[in-house]
Chains A and B, each alone.
Chain A
Amino acid sequence: MATTSTQRFGRRLASSVSRRRLSSSAGEIAVQRSQNPSLNLCSAINQALHIALDTDPRSYVFGEDVSFGGVFRCTVGLADRFGKSRVFNTPLCEQGIVGFGIGLAAMGNRAIAEIQFADYIYPAFDQIVNEAAKFRYRSGNQFNCGGLTIRAPYGAVGHGGHYHSQSPEAFFCHVPGIKVVIPRSPSQAKGLLISCIRDPNPIVFFEPKWLYRLAVEEVPEHDYMLPLSEAEVIREGTDITLVGWGAQLSIMEEACLDAENDGISCELIDLKTLIPWDKETVEASVRKTGRLLISHEAPVTGGFGAEISASIVERCFLRLEAPVARICGLDTPFPLVFEPFYLPTKNKILDAIKSTVNY
């Protein structure tokens, strides 16, 4: 269906159509397909937070406007059910929110902090990088803030402009001591968020806000966790490996389908956890295909794609049949009027797939 719309309406619409197509090909979810309700990503996050608060009385949710449900309605109903001592609004002070969360977590609690947009996380950068990430190391394991999970919606929405569209994940991937996790779909979001909350390390969890309402799929109702630092092959192929995460995967999936029509078989990998990342799965795939393409919305220079590229070249140098391709955001600030030019759209990926395979 998406393919026909692509042909009919051209490139610009195609990218928004393709955002809707988001499948979870995880086997364990497919099995239960018939009896689970369909949820969008926002509701899946909401369910995960309900479960987290329900299963651990020492867990807390806080951030700007969260007790009213938050600007994206991800925290709806939590304050009513768990009370305002466990779900509460903070003032507008990101640095304070994260620092407070570190202290709360240091006392053995699960602090689930929300930063309203990933673009607003920079005032908290010092707390995350200098305080959260190094607390365990520099105290010789006396203290840690492993219970801290920072949720932040990231990425393009089609019209977000400079300060509601950024993908800042690479900054945090440069920081040993924290984990960075990004889900691609509702069922993934639920399982990964619960894992992040229960993981004994501080985690930055970026949520693809474009998919909050657009991505809908069946999500198991029960409490389940998906493993961190495990990538997943969501589409098998033999000619080229594509690696991505979050909302970008749906674009890449579209490109894979189009490439298939041209006789190119693409393998698509969802990295899920950016640090520490699952090199083995990517390496195994590249050993099979001999080619690698990485795609993310953040600017190409210094993006996390660079790290993946370098690592895979180190491991698979003699097996590679073409240079590693990176199809990413441009090296400009996230633009207001040129978003479709800035973004790594399906056709840019498709072009790169072809030129890499025909290298």
Chain B
Amino acid sequence: MALSRAASSTPHANLLKPLAAAISSSSSFFRRSISTDTTPITVETSVPFTAHRCEAPSRTVETTGQELVGFFRLMALMRRAEIAADSLYKAKLIRGFCHLYDGQEAVAIGMEAAITKKDCIITAYRDHCTFLGRGGTLLEVFSELMGRQAGCSKGKGGSMHFYRKEAGFYGGHGIVGAQIPLGVGLAFAQKYNKDESVSFALYGDGAANQGQLFEALNMAALWDLPAILVCENNHYGMGTAEWRAAKSPSYYKRGDYVPGLKVDGMDALAVKQACKFAKEHALKNGPIILEMDTYRYHGHSMSDPGSTYRTRDEISGVRQERDPIERIRKLLLSLDLATEKELKDIEKEVRKEVDEAIAQAKESPMPDPSELFTNVYVKGYGVESFGPDRKEVRAVLP
């Protein structure tokens, strides 16, 4: 469906050619069939990259009309899905803990545009949109959120535990910072196998203060592993502002001996450029940190209103000035690659897709109770003691 199409639409932009100057003029000539325009265009990133111990990549990013429309569509879909998850949680159809990604969509989108499914991604618990970016379906998302069989983890994981093995998505992890060393392990395997692929380990600004990050960084640098540590800095670790928790909130510099790059994480094209750069760097020279300057509109989790430790003005200011979807919308309009109406239509379609997926997910049955005992060990050793039917103790050995 549309998701996989957008995700796999990575343009094979020929970087060796001088950046094409064929900007808006050519595209307006071809106007129409908005999503298929593959004429290369170049766009300047919102702000320059800030580099630490490396040369910053160019601000000029190559893209196409097709890619931009794909960005718009997938980000609108992610946004809509998260808002729907919010309502489902409030309706108690989603249990467990639930952390929403709206506001940070450009990170997931831009990263996907620069890499392939051979590259690995591992993240923390704010994982819905990363999963969608890797080609996961809405049905899998909503089924998993509601603990249904059709979920990506068969309904056994829930919001924090999305996985997609075939697309190199090593998933959502529940404990702050615990996924970072795992990402370094993935990178070692990739290097050993001479895969020419890299691992992206994502973590938040809160997790950046965990000791595990520094253990992982040292190993990655010591062995020159193709690991890209992506700090999604949304400026609040749960309810604590970054500067209250970190002596140096310049997370891209905190690898010290590891190079770093600060990126506008609200600009999908800047993220794409940075990830492309980081992948090339990591394959040649070892680990690098990307700090994505981003923002989450929702609170940390569903029990956090998100307005006690920051002002409503701050949130609405970011929405107005830096919103990742609005940025792409403006770009599409100013380059005359789409009309207001076409983009509105996309949003309507997306809303319908989300509603349909939710309806379908609600039809999916809960996992069978016997699933409680499976996957604990390879052959499901477990003691089926006093189940709901109140039968006597029964042990199942492998």
Contacts and interface: CB of A to CB of B under 8 A. Distances in A.
A120 B175 contact: yes
Interface string B164-184: 000000000011111000000
Interface string B200-226: 000000110111100000000000000
A190 B303 CA distance: 25
Interface in A10-27: 11
B127 to A, nearest CB: 13
Contacts of A342: 372
A338 interface: yes
A336 B390 contact: no
Given A91-B246, A163-B174, A337 B367 contact: yes
Contacts of B245: 89-92
Interface in A120-165: 120, 122-123, 158-164
Interface residues on A, range: 35 or more
Interface in A319-335: 327, 330-333, 335
Given A92-B245, A164-B97, A337 B156 contact: yes
Contacts of A356: none
B390 A347 contact: yes
A331 B383 contact: yes
Contacts of A122: 175
Interface string B357-368: 000000000110
A338 B372 contact: yes
A82 interface: no
A341 B206 contact: no
B147 interface: yes
Contact of B373 (A71, A90, A158, A332): A332
Contacts of B206: 91-92
**Among B304, B367, B386, which residue has the most Cβ atoms of chain A within 10 A?**
B386
B238 A92 contact: yes
A71 B245 CA distance: 16
Nearest to B144: A336
A340 B158 contact: no
Given A92-B209, A327-B386, A65 B303 contact: no
Given A71-B238, A159-B95, A341-B372, A92 B176 contact: yes
A114 interface: no
A351 interface: yes
Nearest to B147: A337
A122 B178 CA distance: 11
Contacts, number: 124
B157 interface: yes
B87 interface: no
Interface in B351-389: 366-367, 369, 371-373, 376, 382-388
B309 A68 contact: yes
B239 interface: yes
A55 to B, nearest CB: 28
B147 A71 contact: no
A162 B161 contact: yes
A57 interface: no
A342 B376 CA distance: 14
B237 A91 contact: yes
Given A68-B239, A162-B158, A96 B211 contact: yes
Interface string A47-76: 000000000000000001100100100000
Nearest to B125: A163
A193 interface: no
Given A338-B369, A341-B369, A300 B383 contact: yes
Interface of B, secondary structure class, is: loop
Interface string B325-360: 000000000000000000000000000000000000
A123 B385 contact: no
A162 B174 contact: yes
A65 B174 contact: no
Contact of A336 (B147, B209, B388): B147
Interface in B260-283: none
B207 to A, nearest CB: 6
**Among A64, A120, A158, A333, which residue has the most Cβ atoms of chain B within 10 A?**
A64
Nearest to B301: A71
Contacts of A119: 174-175
A193 to B, nearest CB: 23
A93 B304 CA distance: 20
Interface in A233-292: none
Contacts of B239: 65, 68, 71
A333 B374 CA distance: 10
Interface in B79-112: 95-97
A315 interface: no
A6 interface: no
B36 interface: no
Contacts of A91: 206, 209, 237, 240, 245-246
A309 interface: no
Given A331-B376, A332-B373, A68 B147 contact: no
A357 B206 CA distance: 53
Interface of B: 95-97, 147, 155-161, 174-178, 206-207, 209-212, 237-240, 244-246, 303-304, 308-309, 366-367, 369, 371-373, 376, 382-388, 390
Given A161-B95, A340-B388, 16 more contacts: A65-B238, A65-B239, A71-B304, A89-B240, A91-B246, A119-B175, A120-B176, A123-B175, A160-B97, A163-B174, A164-B96, A330-B372, A332-B372, A337-B147, A338-B367, A352-B386
25 contacts: A65-B240, A68-B239, A89-B244, A92-B238, A120-B175, A123-B177, A123-B211, A158-B95, A159-B95, A160-B97, A161-B97, A162-B96, A300-B385, A330-B372, A330-B373, A330-B382, A330-B384, A330-B385, A331-B383, A332-B376, A340-B388, A341-B372, A342-B372, A348-B390, A351-B390
Among all A-B residue pairs, the 7 with the closest Cβ atoms = A161-B96, A159-B95, A91-B209, A163-B174, A337-B147, A91-B245, A92-B206
